[in-house]
């Protein structure tokens, strides 16, 4: 244990995801010995995030205004909607430059073992968005793991009666990964490709 302020910093850092007690201590002492200007910039970045970044009222992506940059962009098409788990997934798909539609960020995936059900995600909000009939194709781009697949199955069943085209993104294999290193289960998923889901 260290004196007050240093220990408080270590405790706060230790609460961040992926930071264990040892790393927290290392980061804390790095900050203590860093240039004062560097620390000031970090503090300013944290303050700005806390004060100005919020969730887009339409898609729940991170935004610096009422609506995010993508929802405000008039060049994007309104008839294709891509459902993702987290804002970082929006960033990943945007990087591919393949998608010109809009997004809906669920805020996670259904995980009963963690007590997370459909009501804990922005599923009702998604249904409300689909109600006006502007969206004709729904691409479900949840993670290629168990929770992501289950969430996709749940959503496909839910929107089935609305008569939309529903598809699941081809995923499972890392881009540029070697096929020979992929295990049979992952490979099986990828071979199925971006498939239409019939609910």
Partner 1 sequence: MSAHTPKALYRDEGIVLRTQKLGEADRIITVLTRRTGKVRAVAKGVRRTKSKFGARLEPFTHVDLQLYTGRNLDIVSQAESIRAYGQEVVADYPAYTAGTAVLETADRLTAEEKEPSLRMFLLVVGALRALGEKSHPAPLVLDAFLLRAMSVAGWEPALAECARCGEAGPHRHFSVPAGGTVCPACRPTGSAMPSPVTIELLDSLLTGDWARAEASQGINRREGSGLVAAMLQWHLERGLRSLPLVDRSESAPRREASLLSEA
18 near partner 1, rule: CB under 8 A: yes
Query: Residues, the chain, total?
Result: 199
Contact of residue 58 among partner 1, Zn ion, none (CB under 5-8 Å per partner type): Zn ion
59 near Zn ion, rule: CB under 5 A: yes
Q: Select the residue interacting with partner 1 from 42, 188, 193, 196 (CB under 8 A).
A: 188
What is the 8-class DSSP label of residue 60? -
- The CA–CA distances, whole Å, from 182 to 123, 147, 148, 190, 191 equal 32, 20, 19, 10, 12
- H or E element: which one contains 43? helix 36-52
179 near partner 1, rule: CB under 8 A: no
Contact 190, 170 (CB under 8 A): yes
Of 54 and 195, nearer to Zn ion (C-beta) is: 54
User: How many CA atoms does the CB half-sphere of 61 hold within 13 Å?
Assistant: 24
* Helices and strands in the chain, H and E counts: 8, 7
Contact of residue 133 among Zn ion, partner 1, none (CB under 5-8 Å per partner type): none
86 near partner 1, rule: CB under 8 A: no
183 near partner 1, rule: CB under 8 A: yes
Contact of residue 178 among Zn ion, partner 1, none (CB under 5-8 Å per partner type): partner 1
Contact of residue 60 among partner 1, Zn ion, none (CB under 5-8 Å per partner type): none
Please state the φ and ψ torsions of residue 136, each to the nearest 5 degrees. Answer: -110, -20
Where along the sequence are the contacts to partner 1 (CB under 8 A)?
18, 20, 110, 112-115, 117, 145-146, 149-150, 153-154, 157, 172, 174, 177-178, 181-186, 188-189
């Amino acid at each position: 244990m260290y004196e007050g302020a240093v220990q408080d910093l270590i405790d706060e850092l230790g609460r961040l995801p992926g930071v264990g007690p040892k790393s927290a201590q290392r980061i804390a002492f790095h900050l203590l010995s860093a240039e004062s200007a560097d620390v000031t910039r970090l503090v300013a970045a944290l303050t700005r995030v806390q004060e100005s970044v919020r969730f887009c009222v339409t898609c729940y992506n991170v935004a610096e205004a009422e609506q995010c940059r993508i929802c405000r962009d008039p060049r994007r098409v309104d008839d294709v909607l891509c459902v993702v788990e987290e804002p970082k997934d929006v960033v990943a798909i945007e990087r591919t430059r393949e998608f010109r539609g809009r997004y809906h960020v669920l805020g996670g995936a259904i995980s009963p073992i963690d007590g997370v059900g459909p009501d804990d995600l922005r599923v009702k909000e998604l249904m409300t968005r689909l109600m006006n009939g502007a969206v004709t194709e729904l691409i479900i781009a949840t993670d290629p793991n168990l929770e992501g697949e289950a969430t996709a199955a749940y959503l496909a069943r839910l929107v089935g009666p609305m008569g939309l085209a529903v598809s699941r993104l081809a995923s499972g294999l890392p881009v540029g990964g070697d096929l020979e290193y992929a295990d049979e289960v992952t490979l099986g998923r990828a071979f199925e490709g971006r498939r239409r889901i019939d609910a």
